[in-house]
């Protein structure tokens, strides 16, 4: 069976869904194909923090209602080290900006509902996806659904299929440069039934390793501790997990994490990855398909949103003015913001994690940098403006 549309989108993550929704609002048709089921994408626990520009974007697109109703707007974060906590007042330092703690799978639910309501097709559970003809003017995507061979003929293909998807590989190896850094640690993430331990997120550095204290709802908390990336969740009993959290976070002020029943555990790898270029012929990559950050800066989903703002704008320009100009410069413009986010994520990661085998001077530099960050307004402002998110290109 062959279908025709203007933009064929591979992947119903934040990038693919946002793109379909933005294109529809400009009268441009698309079809999304997704390897997983709707239940799986709406239930997978991933990122938790939306930057200020991402919140604004979701509002502008009319999909921010539930986010404001059940998400939590935070005006600051805390950096904990040396047994003390230090507040970074994001709101004051950035002229009134904030972040929203609202889980990625809730964003996905909102976007799936909006995309289906506007009549866009999402085909779930596809297999054997192959991109064809991207160097010509009428590319196509071949795949199977329930064993039946299918095809989408389109003007453009948007590769929004995450780090492991096939789109990036469709760019000839000789035409792309892949930059990769693997960190010698992972994050052990838990969800637990407990009240919040803090009104704001805590990024804690200690000699035993990093901890992030985040939240989901008044009764469910999200927390992470730095671990060996080859470790296994079965090695960690609940007692051992809580003992490690306490050992890394307790200081002189008497503050103590609140415990509760742990109902989800998982280990996340830490990588910095960028594929240059993000386009070839009629194929355009967006989000994790082109770049990955370690989670410390909370940037992954937000970088995907930045790509989509540029890509949708470029596709709209093409259909409105018959102009290739914005499309031709998509990768160069997107990569500027991506490299900023990558550098900030690396900075936060190396600032807050201790790595085995480090020399003592590196550890002392880390402490000096942390002291500077919380005592200098210029340094705190730099951290704050990166954390709340730099404006998307073309927006205020
Ligand atoms: P994805 O969300 O990966 O979506 C890609 C979609 O494409 C998926 O639904 C996938 O099933 C689909 N797909 C893949 N292959 C195919 C195919 N062949 N055909 C059709 N569909 C396909 N970021 C943070 O900032 N903080 C965090 O705490 C954090 N935690 C994370 C935890 C995990 C386990 C993972 C995997 C990522 C995490 N991230 C985090 C990163 C963040 O979630 C991503 O940056 C974000 O999901 C990027 O969105 P995307 O749409 O580009 O890609
Ligand atoms: C969360 C994840 C992050 O990577 C981060 O930097 C902040 C919060 C979270 O899952 O809540």
Task: Tell whether 118 and 39 lie within a shared domain.
Answer: yes
Residue 125 near residue 144 (C-beta atoms within 8 A): no
Residues 6+ apart with CB under 8 A from 100: 49, 50, 54, 55, 67, 71, 72, 73, 74
Which numbered atom of ligand 2 lies nearest the CA of 348?
Answer: 6
User: What's the 9 CA to ligand 2 centre distance in angstroms?
Assistant: 27
The answer to the question of residue 160 being in a domain is: yes
Which numbered atom of ligand 2 lies nearest the CA of 295?
Answer: 4
User: What's the 288 CA to ligand 1 centre distance in angstroms?
Assistant: 6
Task: Identify the CA nearest to 313 among candidates 4, 19, 15.
Answer: 19
Q: In the listed set 206, 236, 271, which residue is the last one of a domain according to the structure?
A: 271
Dist CA 332 CA 322 (whole Å): 20
Number of domains, the chain? 2
User: What's the 13 CA to ligand 1 centre distance in angstroms?
Assistant: 6
- CATH code (residue 189): 3.30.9.10
CB-ligand 2 contact for 115 (6 Å cutoff)? no
- CATH code (residue 6): 3.50.50.60
Ligand nearest to the CA of 211: 2
| CA distance readout (Å), 306 to 56, 64, 183, 302, 374 | 12, 17, 25, 6, 29
Catalytic center residues: 74, 203, 295, 299, 387
The answer to the question of residue 390 being in a domain is: no
Ligand nearest to the CA of 296: 2
User: What's the 142 CA to ligand 2 centre distance in angstroms?
Assistant: 36
Residues 6+ apart with CB under 8 A from 73: 98, 99, 100
The answer to the question of residue 221 being in a domain is: yes
Dist CA 67 CA 20 (whole Å): 19
CB-ligand 2 contact for 299 (6 Å cutoff)? no
Task: Tell whether 39 and 129 lie within a shared domain.
Answer: yes
Residue 96 near residue 1 (C-beta atoms within 8 A): no
Residues in the chain: 396
Dist CA 287 CA 292 (whole Å): 8
Write out the two tokens for 232.
Answer: 């296994």
Task: Tell whether 172 and 186 lie within a shared domain.
Answer: no
Q: pLDDT per position in the chain (396 positions), as tens? A: 899 999 999 999 999 999 999 999 999 999 999 999 999 999 998 889 999 999 999 999 999 999 999 999 999 999 999 999 999 999 999 999 999 999 999 999 999 999 999 999 999 999 999 999 999 999 999 999 999 999 999 999 999 999 999 999 999 999 999 999 999 999 999 999 999 999 999 999 999 999 999 999 999 999 999 999 999 999 999 999 999 999 999 887 888 999 999 999 999 999 999 999 999 999 999 999 999 999 999 999 999 999 999 999 999 999 999 999 999 999 999 999 999 999 999 999 999 999 989 999 999 999 999 999 999 999 999 999 999 999 998 553
The answer to the question of residue 377 being in a domain is: no
The answer to the question of residue 71 being in a domain is: no
Q: In the listed set 224, 253, 271, which residue is the last one of a domain according to the structure?
A: 271
Task: Identify the CA nearest to 159 among candidates 27, 15, 260, 53.
Answer: 15
């Amino acid at each position: 069976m062959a279908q025709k549309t203007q933009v064929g989108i591979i992947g119903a993550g934040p990038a693919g869904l946002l793109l379909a929704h933005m294109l529809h609002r400009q009268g441009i048709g698309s079809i999304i194909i997704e390897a997983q089921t709707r239940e799986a994408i709406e239930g997978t626990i991933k990122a938790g923090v939306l930057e200020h520009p991402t919140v604004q974007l979701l509002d502008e697109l009319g999909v921010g209602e539930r986010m404001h109703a059940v998400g939590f707007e935070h005006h600051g974060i805390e950096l904990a080290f040396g047994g003390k906590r230090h507040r970074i007042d994001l709101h004051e330092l950035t002229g009134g900006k904030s972040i929203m703690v609202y889980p990625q799978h809730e964003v996905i639910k909102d976007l799936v509902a909006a995309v289906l309501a506007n009549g866009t097709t999402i085909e779930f559970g596809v297999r054997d996806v192959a991109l064809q003809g991207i160097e010509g003017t009428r590319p196509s995507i071949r795949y199977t659904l329930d064993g039946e061979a299918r095809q989408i003929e389109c003007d453009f293909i948007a590769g929004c299929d995450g780090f492991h998807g096939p789109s990036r590989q469709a760019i000839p190896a000789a035409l792309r440069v892949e930059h990769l850094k693997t960190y010698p640690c992972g994050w052990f993430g838990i969800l637990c039934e407990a009240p919040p331990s803090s009104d704001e997120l805590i990024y804690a550095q200690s000699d035993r390793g990093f901890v992030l204290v985040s939240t989901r709802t008044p009764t469910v908390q999200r927390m992470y501790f730095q671990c060996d990336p080859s470790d296994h969740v079965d090695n960690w009993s609940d007692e051992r997990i809580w003992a490690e959290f306490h050992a890394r976070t307790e200081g002189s002020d008497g503050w103590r994490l609140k415990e509760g029943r742990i109902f989800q555990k998982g280990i996340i790898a830490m990588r910095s990855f960028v594929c240059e270029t993000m386009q070839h012929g009629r194929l355009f990559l967006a989000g994790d398909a082109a770049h990955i950050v370690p989670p410390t800066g909370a940037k992954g989903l937000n970088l995907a949103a930045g790509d989509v703002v540029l890509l949708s704008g470029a596709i709209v320009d093409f259909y409105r003015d018959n102009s290739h100009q914005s499309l031709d410069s998509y990768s160069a413009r997107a990569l500027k913001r991506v490299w900023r986010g990558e550098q900030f994520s690396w900075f936060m990661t190396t600032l807050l994690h201790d790595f085995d085998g480090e020399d003592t001077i590196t550890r002392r530099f880390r402490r000096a940098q942390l002291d500077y960050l919380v005592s200098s307004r210029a340094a705190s402002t730099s951290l704050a403006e990166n954390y709340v998110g730099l404006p998307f290109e073309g927006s205020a």
